[in-house]
Chains A and B, each alone.
Chain A
Amino acid sequence: SAVISQKPSRDICQRGTSLTIQCQVDSQVTMMFWYRQQPGQSLTLIATANQGSEATYESGFVIDKFPISRPNLTFSTLTVSNMSPEDSSIYLCSVEDLLVRHEQFFGPGTRLTVL
């Protein structure tokens, strides 16, 4: 399976600031996804990051709050904008190559705390 890294692994940020999270994969993949896991909750899909086109956002998530870039087949970024304490979560990227298999593989996550 693909090896996925995320930067930063954790951060503590002030209210009103923004943080960009990077996701790097060691091989080219068709699809990349961004999830968040709020404290005590399950993983919730934020958006699908498509290479060469705009991300597709799930209900309740908007591009202004969570802008995503996908410049190539091995890299994506998620920005959490104008943060509030409610944004404190673990943010995870996942990858899938439809040509190879159907399962998604996850990065280690970025633990974000907003004060």
Chain B
Amino acid sequence: DQQVKQNSPSLSVQEGRISILNCDYTNSMFDYFLWYKKYPAEGPTFLISISSIKDKNEDGRFTVFLNKSAKHLSLHIVPSQPGDSAVYFCAARTFSGGGADGLTFGKGTHLIIQP
């Protein structure tokens, strides 16, 4: 059973427009959420994160929104640039006991920025 779901395998957006990537989760124990970007043949690169006590976090062109009641988060990229073309993974974690747990990942969304 997938605890983190990214229901759009791919998304095509025109350069300069806003890209919105969505993620849903089922485990109410998750209290920290992260977005990663991955190019082929490379490891995932951390983009932005958000704690469950917040509903928005912004870093430059990237903003993550969290709706805890809906168990939904989204990543907004504006304006979209050609270099943003990559696979984007949503991930979630809990903090238990004496340390952090590993991450639970969604299946990813392949973002394609068209000129």
Interface residue B32 (Cβ < 8 Å from any Cβ of A): yes
Cβ–Cβ < 8 Å partners of B99 in chain A: 30-31, 98
A43 touching B89 by the CB < 8 A rule?
Answer: yes
Q: How far, in whole Å, are A98 and B105 apart by their CA atoms in the complex?
A: 20
**Count of chain A residues with Cβ under 8 Å from any Cβ of B?**
26
Q: How far, in whole Å, are A98 and B93 apart by their CA atoms in the complex?
A: 13
B32 touching A45 by the CB < 8 A rule?
Answer: no
Interface residue B60 (Cβ < 8 Å from any Cβ of A): no
Q: What are the interface flags for A95-115 relative to B under an 8 Å C-beta threshold, 1 for contact and 0 otherwise?
A: 010100011111111010000
Q: How far, in whole Å, are A31 and B99 apart by their CA atoms in the complex?
A: 9
Contact A109 to B105, CB < 8 A, known contacts A96-B100, A102-B32: no
B46 touching A103 by the CB < 8 A rule?
Answer: yes
A42 touching B100 by the CB < 8 A rule?
Answer: no
**Count of chain B residues with Cβ under 8 Å from any Cβ of A?**
22
Cβ–Cβ < 8 Å partners of A111 in chain B: 41
B43 touching A92 by the CB < 8 A rule?
Answer: yes
B103 touching A104 by the CB < 8 A rule?
Answer: yes
A42 touching B46 by the CB < 8 A rule?
Answer: no
Q: How far, in whole Å, are A74 and B28 apart by their CA atoms in the complex?
A: 33
Cβ–Cβ < 8 Å partners of A41 in chain B: 107
B49 touching A33 by the CB < 8 A rule?
Answer: no
Interface residue A58 (Cβ < 8 Å from any Cβ of B): yes
Query: Which B residues have a C-beta under 8 Å from some C-beta of A?
Result: 32, 34, 36, 41-46, 49, 89, 91, 99-108
Query: Which A residues have a C-beta under 8 Å from some C-beta of B?
Result: 1, 4, 30-31, 33, 35, 41-45, 48, 58, 92, 94, 96, 98, 102-109, 111
A-B contact pairs, 6 of them (CB 8 A): A33-B103, A94-B103, A107-B43, A108-B41, A109-B42, A109-B43
